[in-house]
Amino acid sequence: MSTENELKIVKQLTNVEDNRIEVSEIGWTSRVYIIDGGKVVFKFPRNAKFREGCKQEVAVLKLIKEQAFNISVPILNWTTEDNEYFGFYGVEGKPLREVIDSLSEQQKIEIGTQLGKFLKQLHDIKNFGDIKAQTLDEQTAEYQSWYRKDRDLLKEFFSELELKTIDDFFAHEVPKCMTGSGELVFCHGDLDYNNTLINGNNQVGVIDFGDARLYDRSQDFRGMDDEILRDAMIKAYGGGEVIGKTAAEATSKMIDVLNMLYCVEQKDLVGINNFLMRIRAKILTVE
Tell me which amino acid residue 49 is. Answer: K
- DSSP string of the chain? --HHHHHHHHHHHH---GGGEEEE---SSEEEEEETTTTEEEEEESSGGGHHHHHHHHHHHHHHHTS--SSB--EEEEE-TT-S-EEEE---SEEHHHHGGG--HHHHHHHHHHHHHHHHHHHT----TT--B--HHHHHHHHHHHHHHHGGGGGGTS-HHHHHHHHHIIIIIHHHH----S-EEEE-S--BTTTEEE-TT--EEE---TT-EEEEGGGGGTB---HHHHHHHHHHHT-S-SS-HHHHHHHHHHHHHHHHHHHHHHT-HHHHHHHHHHHIIIIIS--
Percent residues over pLDDT 90 in the chain = 71
Model confidence at 53: pLDDT above 60: yes
Q: What is the mean pLDDT of residues 158-180?
A: 94
pLDDT the model gives residue 127: 83
What residue ranges define each of the domains in the chain, with the CATH number in brackets?
A: 3-89 (3.30.200.20), 94-284 (3.90.1200.10)
CA 267 to chain centre: 20
Q: Residues 119-131: what's their mean pLDDT?
A: 89
How much is the pLDDT for 26?
A: 65
| Confidence grade of residue 27 (pLDDT, cut at 50, 70, 90) | low
Higher pLDDT, 4 or 156: 156
Mean pLDDT of the chain: 91
pTM of structure = 0.87
**Mean pLDDT for the stretch of residues 130-147:** 93
Mean pLDDT of 112-138: 92
Confidence band, pLDDT 50/70/90 cuts, at residue 111: very high
Residue 28 clears pLDDT 70, i.e. is over it = no
* Residue 287 pLDDT greater than 60, yes or no: no
